[in-house]
Amino acid sequence: MNYGFVIDGRKCIGCHACTVACKSENQVPVGVNRTWVKYVEKGKFPDTRRYFTVLRCNHCEDPPCVNICPVEALQQREDGIVDFDGRRCIGCKACGQACPYGALYVDPETHTSAKCNYCAHRKEVGLQPACVATCPQQAIVSGDLDDTESDIAVLLATEQTAVRKPEKGTSPCLFYIDGDGASLDPLQTGGGCEYLWSEQSRGVGHFAGKNGKGAPPKAKPAPKGVKPAAARKVYDAPSKGVVWGWEVPAYVWSKGVASGVFLLLFALTALFSVPVSDFVQWASWGVSLAFLGLTGGFLIRDLDRPDRFTSVMLRPHFSSWLVRGGYTITLFGALLALWGGAKFLGLYELERAALWGGALFALVTSIYTAFLFSAAKGRDFWQSPLLALHMLVTSLIAGVSAMTLLLAFSGGDAQLYPILRWGLLAGISADTFIVMSELFGRHPTKQAGETAHVITHGALGRQFWIACMLAGHLLPAAILLVAPTSLAGSLAALLALGGVYYTEKLWVRAPQLISIS
């Protein structure tokens, strides 16, 4: 048994009966939708045509939202329905990033994720989903795809159908007859015009009551001389906005400091046998421990249900990198505590073992977010093979910067400063190369290319060139080259730390500004 949908574009009249039926049946709050209808217009007056497309969860055979959920709030049933349990959801919003179809939203009343669940409660008593039962044109067909005699199987066998984003490999079970390409691919409609519901005065879901903060920038008319898109989106559901806000880049930045400074301490003492005073060792340990705690605070702060954060550890879904990352951070913190205890008690062998173990987990801590982002299949820019290297290099920059500032405050270990100076310069140079490669290199998909354009020439262009590149990369590198003093190094370290944060901020925010539905 494998339930699915067929949307017959030849019959749909855009009446929104399915949307209303879904809202009524499932008590969906105002401002968010499980099922919605998008209008796309093509042509030039008077030769125009309007296409109607019903959008919702695709109930994929390989659902990325299920794989990324850290607490198994999303589950794939034996009958193929991708269902959710709001009682488990912690509001991490990772499922919304993983879905390539923009089907998930955060309920503004419960602060948990939700989506179309095929009206599973109706199916269990032999009823059709509410949208199917209500559609006046019978444009929505549901049923068992494995039953060759079912209406849906007959349609699939006799009609040419299309699915959304087949390249994602999710094998969606939502099929379109006479599906218009511009309606199924949001990047074909351009973004030059505002339309009904394209903007709203206050946020919904994660941003409810926040006066629209985090919403994408308003669309602007196409410049003069630029040919408008061949297809225009004239009606759609409200944008879900930027659901991963400032907390996510802040947590990436703080864990970069925590892991980077300990990796640097390990490299100096264990690999290169550089003499490091006890004060710098203890200070580095303290900074690492403090910023690791700050990382946990940012992670909890980002949850829409922070009261359930313990579920990540107590009811884990181990295939999720959120869970793996949580355990990695916990074990890294435990090894940090062990190293500090062993050093205080003078247990040299235990101290050395904790140093090596802590360095291993610091390495994983610095890069695991790249694997979490790569599991977010809805955002192509995060699928970059350079992302793990990018995370590692920024962590090392943060670590060198933190230790440089520690030396400036302590006034000791002068022999370390030249090493840190050249290390920071090398890190900034490497990160500049990686950033430019990710932005100006060849992009495998149009969505990834659009994201890079938003960063370099779009809504985030000024932040990128001024805050990220000029202040965060070029200026500290120039200071390190022309002024080899500890005071200049401290200034360069502060600028580099700011550059790391702004880089991560743009990398997290920009992909969320690209429409995926």
Q: What 3-state DSSP class applies to 12? A: coil
Alpha carbons 338 and 233: distance in angstroms, whole number:
58
Judge whether residue 228 has pLDDT over 70. no
Listed by start position, the domains of the chain span 3-235, 247-513
Backbone angles phi, psi at 421, to 5 degrees: -60, -50
Q: What 3-state DSSP class applies to 290? A: helix
Alpha carbons 452 and 450: distance in angstroms, whole number:
5
Lowest-confidence region among 55-69, 98-112, 403-417, 435-449 = 403-417
**Residue 421 identity (one-letter amino acid):** R
Judge whether residue 509 has pLDDT over 70. yes
Average pLDDT over residues 232-257: 91
Confidence of residue 517 (pLDDT cuts 50, 70, 90): confident
For residue 463, give Cα distances in angstroms to 191, 251, 472, 476, 502: 21, 20, 11, 17, 8
Average pLDDT over residues 212-231: 53
Average pLDDT over residues 25-43: 93
Judge whether residue 222 has pLDDT over 60. no
Alpha carbons 389 and 391: distance in angstroms, whole number:
5
Average pLDDT over residues 237-251: 90
Do the Cβ atoms of 41 and 232 come closer than 8 Å?
A: yes
pLDDT tens sequence across 45-86: 888 899 999 999 999 999 999 999 999 999 999 999 999 999
Average pLDDT over residues 469-496: 95
Place of tokens 């990160």: 431
Domain pair 3-235 / 247-513, same fold? no
Q: What is the mean pLDDT of the chain?
A: 91
In the chain, the percentage of residues whose pLDDT exceeds 70 is: 92
**Residue 300 identity (one-letter amino acid):** I
Do the Cβ atoms of 302 and 244 come closer than 8 Å?
A: yes
Residues in the chain: 517
Average pLDDT over residues 469-495: 95
Place of tokens 């900034």: 428
Tokens of 129: 């989903």
Report the DSSP pairing between strands 47-55 and 74-76.
unpaired
pLDDT tens sequence across 165-216: 999 999 999 999 999 888 899 888 865 566 665 655 555 555 555 544 455 5
Q: Residue 212's pLDDT is what? A: 45
Average pLDDT over residues 332-360: 97
Residues 6+ apart with CB under 8 A from 332: 258, 259, 292, 358, 361, 362, 364, 365
Q: Residue 231's pLDDT is what? A: 85
Judge whether residue 218 has pLDDT over 60. no
Evaluate whether the domain defined by 247-513 bears CATH number 1.20.1630.10: yes
pLDDT tens sequence across 75-97: 999 999 999 999 999 999 999 99
Average pLDDT over residues 131-143: 96
Q: Residue 223's pLDDT is what? A: 47
Choose among 364, 341, 368, 365: nearest CA to 354: 341
Name 113's bridge partners. 106
Lowest-confidence region among 44-53, 245-254, 325-334, 473-482 = 44-53
Q: How far is CA 319 from the centre of its chain?
A: 17
Lowest-confidence region among 211-220, 314-323, 387-396, 452-461 = 211-220
Q: Residue 269's pLDDT is what? A: 95
For residue 356, give Cα distances in angstroms to 256, 266, 350: 18, 7, 10
Alpha carbons 342 and 514: distance in angstroms, whole number:
50
Report the run of H or E that residue 205 belongs to, with start and end: none
Choose among 92, 109, 102: nearest CA to 35: 102
DSSP 26-91: HTPPTT--SSEEEEEEEEETTEEEEEEEEE-----SS-HHHHH-TT--EEE-TTS-EEE-TTT---
Indicate the class that CATH gives domain 3-235. alpha beta
Between 205 and 514, residue with greater pLDDT: 514
Q: What is the CA angle 405-407-409, rounded to 5?
A: 70
Q: Residue 323's pLDDT is what? A: 96
Q: Residue 498's pLDDT is what? A: 97
